[in-house]
Amino acid sequence: MELTATLLVFAFVFYILMRWGCGARMVHGLTAADTEGGAGELRLEATDPVCGMRVEVGDAVLLEHGSRVIRFCSEDCRKRFLAHPDAYV
C-alpha cells in the first residue's frame, strides 16, 4: 500500500511538471520567450517547410501528407509543396 501511494504521488508531480513546468516547453514546442514575460499569452508556432517562415498554428494553411499535418504560411507555399513534396520532406 505504501508503494502504491508513493507511485501516485510521483505520477501527480510528474504530470504537473509536464503540463505546466519545464516539460511544457518540450512537449508543446515553446521557447522561453513564449512563456516568460510578455502578455502571458501562449503562442504555438510552426515552420513552413517551403519558405522557412514561422507561422502561428491557428493562422496556418493545413495539409495532411501521409500521417503528418503540415502547416504553411500561405496557399502558394502549400501549392509549391504539392508540386514537389519530396523536395521538402
pLDDT digits (tens, 9 = 90+) for 39-82: 556 668 889 999 999 998 888 999 998 888 999 999 999 999 99
The predicted model gives 13-34 an average pLDDT of 63
Name the nearest CA neighbour of 66 among 81, 51, 53.
81
Domain boundaries, the chain: 1-43, 44-89
pTM for this prediction: 0.53
Residue 63 backbone phi and psi in degrees, to 5: -150, 130
CATH for the stretch 44-89: 2.30.170
> Alpha-carbon dihedral of residues 44, 41, 58, 79, nearest 10 degrees?
-50
Residue-averaged pLDDT of the chain? 79
Say if residue 22's pLDDT is above 90: no
The answer to whether 77 and 48 are in contact (CB under 8 A) is yes
